[in-house]
């Protein structure tokens, strides 16, 4: 199983770039920026990564990202993540960043966006990894703060595929951001929303009401048959994060992961690493953990790899190409798309979504209005 997982091409659809900040790099950047951190060693940092809920994690996550100041820091962070993707055969990424976690400390929006995008472009050049960037709003802040961030982001919007909603879920329902999301939709952005991680099924219902294109986590949707039916009807993808779920006590043990139940319900579920530096593993570790915890079959694992592409924001033709590549890799051959000459051709423009309105977007809007 481990070998199969390693050789399948995969897409990562739920990853907070700030959550890939490994302690070694944190120490290095804190040193060069002369920022004090309350830990004496990498080991001490890792020892602090014990969480009993989402908020305990978020407190440390915001503290960790506070050492990021310069464009080079954001570049190094992104570059390191993409090197890990290459090692795990992740060939396409759709990553979140939390601008308010930086601008709120006085780092200019441009510094953050420039550094991350340069890192993504560098990864595409070096490894052929294609990408989408998603600007995520912090839900513990006000909707007005979100509007101010959208305004700041204006010069960059063509480089972002969409927006997301993350941070402390309980007490901050999607409906709090309904106007902001409506505005983002009107500007042509795709919509993602963390819902049903710790928050109740009602929050997933509100995300559906807003008309999101993807639900991040979505675990607690499985408590409501009507939600399961609606998610299936709209063919919405749920980006589940197995090691995150156990680390944050969203589930007591891996055997309780909703991945199998989602597959059995015919839902488009994917496996993702969320904040791998904090939760103990990148993509392949998440696949291995959930496959072992749920005794998944090889067919299940192949389905999850295909879902990662079909649930992505890639154009339809790319999705089909990657699904064929998954099939080829399953039987132990190297997919043509991963051979060197072909990878060059695979590179495509990641910018200019707003006025693109391609077939993918049509599909999504059809699903919403059905």
Closest separation between CB of residue 91 and Zn ion, Å? 21
User: Residues with Cβ < 8 Å from 50, sequence gap 6 or more?
Assistant: none
Q: Does 274 participate in binding ligand ADE (rule CB under 6 A)?
A: yes
Q: Of 203 and 322, which has the nearer Cβ to ligand ADE?
A: 203
Site for ligand ADE in 220-249 (CB under 6 A): 244
Q: Please give the angle made by the CA atoms of 342, 16 and 307, to the nearest 5 degrees.
A: 50
Let me know: does 120 contact 94? Beta carbons within 8 Å: no
Closest separation between CB of residue 16 and ligand ADE, Å? 4
Binding residues with ligand ADE: total (CB under 6 A):
11
Q: Does 274 participate in binding Zn ion (rule CB under 5 A)?
A: yes
Q: Which listed residue (197, 198, 288, 318) is catalytic?
A: 197
- Among 7, 10, 16, 234, indicate the residue that binds ligand ADE (CB under 6 A): 16
> What's the token pair of residue 265?
């319900």
Q: Tokens 């930086």 — which residue? A: 102
Q: Which residues in the chain belong to E strands, given as ranges?
A: 10-12, 90-97, 130-138, 162-166, 190-195, 214-217, 237-240, 268-271
User: What x/- string results for residues 56 through 85 when contact with ligand ADE is judged by CB under 6 A?
Assistant: -----x------------------------
Q: Does 207 participate in binding ligand ADE (rule CB under 6 A)?
A: no
- Nearest CA to 150 out of 117, 118, 177 is that of 177
Residues in the chain: 370
Let me know: does 46 contact 2? Beta carbons within 8 Å: no
Q: Does 166 participate in binding ligand ADE (rule CB under 6 A)?
A: yes
Residue 43 is among the residues annotated as catalytic for this protein: no
> What's the token pair of residue 164?
């997301």
- Nearest CA to 367 out of 230, 196, 177, 222 is that of 230
Query: Cβ atoms within 10 A of the Cβ of 328, count?
Result: 18
Which region, judged by CB under 5 A, interacts with Zn ion, from 114-122, 226-234, 247-255, 269-277? 269-277
Q: Does 98 participate in binding Zn ion (rule CB under 5 A)?
A: no
- Among 167, 239, 246, 284, indicate the residue that binds ligand ADE (CB under 6 A): 167
Let me know: does 199 contact 215? Beta carbons within 8 Å: no
Q: Of 124 and 274, which has the nearer Cβ to Zn ion?
A: 274
Residue nearest to Zn ion (CB): 274
Q: Of 98 and 274, which has the nearer Cβ to Zn ion?
A: 274
Catalytic residue list: 197
**Residues in touch with ligand ADE (CB under 6 A):** 16, 19, 54, 61, 166-167, 194, 197, 244, 274-275
């Amino acid at each position: 199983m481990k070998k199969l997982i390693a050789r399948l091409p995969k897409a990562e659809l739920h990853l907070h770039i700030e959550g890939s900040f490994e302690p070694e790099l944190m120490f290095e950047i804190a040193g060069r920026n002369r920022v004090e951190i309350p830990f004496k060693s990498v080991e001490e940092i890792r020892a602090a990564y014990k969480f009993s809920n989402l908020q305990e994690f978020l407190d440390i996550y915001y503290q960790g990202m506070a050492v990021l100041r310069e464009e080079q820091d954001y570049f190094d962070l992104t570059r390191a993540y993409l090197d890990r993707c290459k090692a795990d055969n992740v060939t396409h990424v759709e990553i979140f960043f939390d601008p308010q976690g930086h601008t709120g400390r006085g780092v200019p929006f441009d510094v953050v966006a420039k550094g991350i995008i340069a890192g993504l472009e560098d990864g595409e050049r070096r490894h052929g990894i294609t990408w989408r960037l998603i600007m995520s709003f912090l839900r513990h802040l006000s909707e007005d703060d979100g509007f101010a961030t959208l305004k700041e982001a204006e010069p960059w919007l063509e480089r972002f595929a969409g927006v997301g909603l993350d941070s402390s879920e309980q007490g901050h329902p999607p409906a709090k951001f309904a106007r902001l999301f409506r505005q983002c939709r009107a500007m042509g952005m795709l919509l993602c929303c963390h819902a049903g991680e710790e928050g109740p099924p009602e929050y997933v219902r509100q995300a559906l009401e807003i008309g999101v294109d993807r639900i991040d986590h979505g675990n607690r949707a499985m408590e409501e048959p009507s939600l399961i039916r609606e998610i299936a009807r709209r063919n919405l993808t749920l980006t589940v994060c197995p090691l995150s779920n156990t680390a944050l006590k969203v589930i007591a043990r891996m055997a309780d992961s909703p991945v199998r139940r989602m597959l059995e319900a015919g839902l488009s579920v994917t496996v993702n690493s969320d904040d791998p530096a904090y939760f103990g593993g990148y993509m392949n570790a998440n696949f291995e953990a959930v496959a072992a915890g749920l005794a998944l079959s090889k067919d299940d694992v192949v389905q999850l790899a295909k879902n990662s592409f079909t649930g992505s924001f890639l154009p339809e033709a790319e999705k089909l190409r990657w699904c064929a590549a998954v099939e080829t890799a399953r039987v132990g051959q190297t997919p043509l798309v991963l051979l060197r000459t072909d990878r060059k051709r695979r590179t495509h423009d990641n910018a200019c979504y707003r006025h693109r309105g391609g077939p993918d977007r049509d599909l999504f809007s059809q699903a919403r209005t059905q």
